[in-house]
Structure formats: structure tokens, C-alpha cells
Amino acid sequence: MKFASVLLSCCLFAAFSASANEAHAPAKPDLAKGAATAAVCSACHSSDGSRGSPAQPILQGQHPEYLVKQLTEFKQGTRANAIMSGMAAPLSDGDMKNVAAFYASKQAKPGFAKNADLAALGEKIYRGGVAERSIPACAGCHSPNGAGIPSQYPRLGGQHADYTEAQLTAFRGGVRKNSTQMTGVAAKMNDHEIKAVADYIAGLH
């Protein structure tokens, strides 16, 4: 009887522990709900975050953690953009995770560079940096093929050159303030270098 009681207690404890773990486990993103939220974003980002206007980022295939971070910072005002701050304001944490997972589940189509000379300079900077001005290689954080590192650095490969150029310029000018690291890198780059890196990234895959 004593053994049976101990065994029953162990089973009850295991069942309670399992239930507790399930209760604290984060809910999986709901792609259907994410798609519904993305429909509201379609005017600027297309229905699935694909290759829309060059002025807007391609969201397909982007790391969901990065997208959630950006939406959170738009909502908090850490990243300034009047339109995006308004769009992010009503979103809950769950909404952000759902829409980020929806965009991340899509595969972006490859892009291409427009200017061979620019892209050649961009490749040198992206892969090797500019040592004499302490500009680090972009590949060190964003990976050689532009895939980035989940939870740390965004995917860049195939991104619109216009958008990448605008963001680097915004970092350099202090308009975009949500990455001290990128502000420091962009501050050392001139217009031609920024344009070259942006063009190279557009064709990177």
C-alpha cells in the first residue's frame, strides 16, 4: 500500500508538472490571424510582403524576431515613422508575433543589382569592409549570403536597393535611432559607398 501511495503521488506530481509547463509554454503563432493582420498592411507591403514598392521593405522571409522587434519599437516610438507608429499602435504582442510569423513563412523572390560597377564596390565593402576607416564588413553580422542571424541581425539579401540606401542614410543622419551599432557603421560611409552596398545587397542571395 505504501509503495502504491508513493507511485500515485509521483504520477500526480508528474501530471501537475506537465500541465504547469504547458500553461507557461508560449503559444505558437497563428498564421491565419497573421494573414488577416497582413491584409491591413497590403497597401504598402503587398498582400504577402513580397516585392512591392522599392521604397518599402520586402518582408517575406525576414526573421520573425526582427519583425516583432521593429513593430514593438514603432509602437514605443523608439523607431520613428508616423505611418508605422500608427499601424503598430493597436497591435498586441500576439498580433505582432502572428503577422511576423506569416511574413517569415513566405519565401522572397531573388532580386538583382542594377549597376555592375556599383555592385562590385558594394561587394568589397560588404565582404571586407573599409579597413582604413574602420568600416566593418557587413557579412560579419548579416552573413556572406545576406541571410542574417535569427534574433540578432536581419536578412538583407534581395532587399530593395532604394530601401536599404534610405535606411543607411537615416542611420547616418540620426533619423533612425534604434541601432547604435548601425548608426556607428553608417556614420563612416559616404553616399557612393551606401549606394554601392545597397545595390550589391539587392542581388545577394
Same domain, 149 and 172: yes
Query: Does an H or E element contain 79, and which?
Result: none
Pick the last residue of a domain from 54, 74, 104. Answer: 104
Please indicate, yes or no, whether residues 64 and 131 belong to a single structural domain of this protein. Answer: no
How many other C-beta atoms can be found within 10 angstroms of the C-beta atom of residue 169?
A: 17
C-alpha cell at 35: 494573414
User: What is the model's pLDDT at position 8?
Assistant: 41
Give the per-residue pLDDT at 24. Answer: 58
Q: Are residues 168 and 196 in the same domain?
A: yes
Q: Is residue 17 part of a domain?
A: no
Task: Return the C-alpha cell found at 81.
Answer: 515613422
Q: Given 53, 84, 104, which residue is the final one in a domain? A: 104
pLDDT at 14: 47
Kindly state the percentage of the chain with pLDDT values over 90: 82
Are 191 and 127 part of one and the same domain?
A: yes
Q: What is residue 56's DSSP assignment?
A: S
Residues 120 and 159 in one domain: yes
Round the average pLDDT of the chain to a whole number and report it.
90
**What is the amino acid identity at position 119?**
A
Work out how many domains the chain is built from and give that number.
2
Please report, as a single letter, which amino acid is at residue 26.
P
Check which CATH number belongs to the domain holding 63 and give it.
1.10.760.10
**Are residues 160 and 126 both part of a single domain?**
yes
Residue 158: what residue type? Answer: G
Give the burial class of 161: count Cβ atoms within 10 A of its Cβ; 0-12 exposed, 13-18 middle, 19 or more buried: buried
Same domain, residue pair 177 and 133: yes
The residue from 53, 82, 104 where one domain ends is 104
pLDDT digits (tens, 9 = 90+) for 30-48: 999 999 999 999 999 999 9
Residues of the domain holding 86: 31-104
Residue 38 lies in a domain: yes
Q: By C-alpha distance, which of 30, 52, 27 is closest to 41?
A: 52
Report the pLDDT averaged over residues 159-184.
Answer: 97
- 147 and 79 assigned to the same domain: no
Which amino acid is present at 205?
H
